[in-house]
């Protein structure tokens, strides 16, 4: 099989090979395909997400939520604490 990459795709993969993330272009392509297969399998099994959605619905119903502003303030404080 022959796969033709765009110059941008090839450069992206080559840069990661140089950093040691992949052994070769073939290794990178195999990894991407394996990751995509696993991702599709996970998406196909949405039943495992049901308890998380139920919990989120319960939190919303009980008022256990943050405003966007409160969330952003919390994240800003966390990032600031990581810089020191």
Do residues 53 and 34 both lie within one domain? Answer: no
Do residues 36 and 54 both lie within one domain? Answer: no
Do residues 32 and 59 both lie within one domain? Answer: no
Do residues 36 and 51 both lie within one domain? Answer: no
In sequence order, the 6+-apart residues with CB closer than 8 A to the CB of 5 are 13, 25
Query: pLDDT for 29-53, tens place per residue?
Result: 999 999 999 888 776 667 778 899 9
What is residue 44's predicted lDDT score, i.e. its pLDDT? 64
Kindly state the DSSP code that residue 3 receives in the 8-state scheme. Answer: -
Instruction: Output the average pLDDT for the chain.
Output: 91
| Domain interval for residue 58 | 47-84
């Amino acid at each position: 099989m022959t796969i033709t990459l765009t110059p941008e795709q090839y450069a992206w993969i080559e840069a990661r090979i140089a950093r040691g993330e992949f052994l070769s272009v073939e290794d990178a392509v195999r990894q991407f395909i394996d990751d995509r297969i696993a991702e599709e399998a996970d998406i196909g099994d949405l039943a495992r997400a049901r308890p998380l959605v139920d919990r989120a619905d319960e939190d919303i119903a009980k008022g256990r939520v943050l405003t966007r502003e409160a969330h952003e303030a919390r994240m800003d404080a966390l990032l600031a604490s990581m810089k020191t």
